[in-house]
Amino acid sequence: MPVRTMKQLISLSILFLITLLFYSCDRDDPPAVITRPSNITEYNQVSEGLKDYYTQPEYFDMGVAIPASFVDNTIKAGLIKRHFNSITSENDMKWSSLQPVEGTFNYTNADKIVSFAVENGLKVRGHCLIWHNQSPSWIFSDGASSASKELVLQRLRTHITAVMTHFKGKVYAWDVVNEAIDDGTATYRASKWYTTCGEDYILEAFRAARAADPAALLIYNDYTAIDPVKRDKIYNLLVKLKEEDLVDGVGLQGHWNISYPSNPLINDAFSKYSSLGLEIQITEMDVSVYTSNSVPETEYTAETEEQLAIAYGRFFISFRLFRDPITSVTFWGLADDRTWLDNFPVTGRKNYPLLFDTNLNPKKAYFEIIDF
């Protein structure tokens, strides 16, 4: 063999070896196998939870709203750690909990939830700074008279600044204003906030929040935010807030039921809100098994289980479709043993709106939403 050809052969072999070495070193480790159980037996054999299927940055955080007492309940705390990477306080960060008396702040329960989150690497969504419910009446009084707009706005600023400063660096997002839009023909809900301050209270709340913690994600939160009439009113408010760079996202509560809303309604709302360049968060999801107030209490039958699974499956199809703007999905409650829907809108009518049953076991709806 001529020397030239010999050299070429050697060079080619070296090149081949280098290429082989390069590829074998550069290849990622094979992706960890994610097991997707489809029944309770399989579920009990694996350790993955919701957050492992809806991984960031491709999908969104999975969150749950809890009372402080869950932190001390080993079984519930374990379930939370398995499934969620975000947490919301159900009631302990509301005004009446944090500042029941003017100037007297009580952070005990809220701090307990936040410490649990910090210790276990969960993010915290703050809920909520300004709302017409669970707000003490002293905000709107001045001795025996009604407080002036100036006094109310000053109290609003003081509250927001104190609370956000207290949780700075631990709470990454805040529902700054909750449920300010009217359900009827008016633009704004005729709350004490509105009748005293007009829409200025909304803008002032967001201004105070931005100043108190510039790193926090500021959210406007509301229910029925997919209804076209209400959606457009929310949209207009968001536009106004965006003009001053005061808002980063919109929170859709997601208190839905097994037949409402439709996917087109959800998708249209997601498209409209995300066209503003805002993040979308589902902040209070639960799915009632009742489609109206007049439906009588039912047992949790196999048919109900199936209908709930279909509904959850359908809602999560929209969530996955809009996974870019959606950054978080929070359930309003951990399991069916404790849900506000047992007493709303009908007192004492047992409901089954969550992914885990009264024994904390996953329901069909759970297996449905992780099957994608």
Q: Which residues bind ligand GLA (CB under 6 A)?
A: 127, 178, 223, 253, 284, 340
CB 120 within 8 A of CB 87: no
Strands 145-146 and 141-142: antiparallel
**Whose CA is closest to 66, among 14, 21, 5, 120?**
120
**Catalytic site residue from 90, 179, 204, 279:** 179
Q: Which two tokens stand for residue 252?
A: 């859709």
For residue 182, count other CB atoms closer than 10 A to its CB: 16
- Over its C-alpha atoms, the chain yields an Rg (Å, rounded) of 25
CB of 339 to ligand GLA, least distance (A): 9
Residue from 277, 156, 286, 282 nearest 209 by CA: 156
Residue 115, H or E segment = helix 108-120
CB of 199 to ligand GLA, least distance (A): 20
Q: Is the dihedral of CA 208, 209, 215, 220 positive or negative?
A: negative
Q: Among residues 99 and 253, whose Cβ is nearest to ligand GLA?
A: 253
Q: What is the rounded CA–CA span in Å between residue 59 and residue 41? A: 27
Determine if the peptide bond prior to 100 is cis (ω within 30°): no
Question: Would you say 52 or 336 has its CB closer to ligand GLA?
Answer: 336
Burial class (CB within 10 angstroms; exposed 0-12, middle 13-18, buried 19+) of 166: middle
**Could you please report the per-residue DSSP string of 79-93?**
HHHHH-SEEEESSTT
Residues 6+ apart with CB under 8 A from 114: 124, 167, 170, 171
Smallest distance from ligand GLA to CB 127, Å: 6
Nearer to ligand GLA, 133 or 292 (CB): 133
CA-based end-to-end distance of the chain: 59
Provide, rounded to whole angstroms, the least separation between the CB of residue 30 and ligand GLA.
43
Please give the structure tokens belonging to residue 341: 């829907």
284 is catalytic: yes
Residue 102 annotated to the active site: no
Catalytic residue among 90, 204, 279, 284: 284
Nearest distance in Å: CB 187, ligand GLA? 20
- Separation CA 19–CA 21 (nearest Å): 5
- Give residue number: closest CB to ligand GLA: 340
Closest contact distance (angstroms) between CB of 108 and ligand GLA is 19
Residues with catalytic function: 179, 284
